[in-house]
């Protein structure tokens, strides 16, 4: 079973700062099948990054993804007020078919 671990659990930052979120897998994950989502209270998740580093349609370029194997990173440059939310990583193709990480909350310092 592939388990995704996200760190930190909570990240307290100010607008304009850079956020670095980590996602670690218990076994190697294909980069093609690693995604990141943003979720705000009361809303469905929104796809940010797919294939570990490709931005989804309409996602600002301050969001970037990187990594391979078992270690992946989501970076948000110059945090905007609307970026304060919970972020989840997700893998596809292992066992179980989909796995989500527990999430990282980015809140305002």
Partner 1 sequence: EVQLVESGGGLVQTGGSLRLSCTASGFSFSDYYMNWVRQAPGKGLEWVSFIATSSATIHYADSVKGRFSISRDNAKNSLYLEMDSLRDEDTAVYYCARQAAHGNIDYWGQGTLVTVSS
Residues in contact with partner 1 by the rule CB under 8 A: 32-33, 35, 37, 39, 44-47, 50-51, 54, 56, 88, 90-93, 96-103
- Name the strand (E) or helix (H) holding 28: strand 19-29
The smaller minimum CB distance to partner 1, of residues 31 and 77, is found at 31
Within 10 angstroms of residue 105's Cβ, the number of other Cβ atoms is: 15
Measure the CA–CA gap between 21 and 37, rounded to whole angstroms.
Answer: 12
The smaller minimum CB distance to partner 1, of residues 83 and 91, is found at 91
Q: Could you tell me the end-to-end alpha-carbon distance of the chain, in angstroms, rounded to an integer?
A: 36
The smaller minimum CB distance to partner 1, of residues 19 and 49, is found at 49
CB of 34 to partner 1, least distance (A): 8
């Amino acid at each position: 079973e592939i388990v995704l671990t996200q760190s930190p659990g909570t990240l307290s930052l100010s607008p304009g700062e850079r956020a670095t979120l980590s996602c670690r897998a218990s076994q190697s994950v294909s980069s093609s099948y690693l995604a990141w989502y943003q979720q705000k209270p009361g809303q469905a998740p929104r796809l940010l990054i797919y294939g570990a580093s490709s931005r989804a349609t309409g996602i600002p370029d301050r969001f970037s993804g990187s990594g391979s194997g078992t270690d992946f990173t989501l970076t948000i440059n110059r945090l905007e007020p609307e970026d304060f939310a919970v972020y989840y990583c997700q893998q596809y193709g292992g066992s179980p078919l989909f796995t989500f990480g527990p999430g990282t909350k980015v809140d305002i310092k």
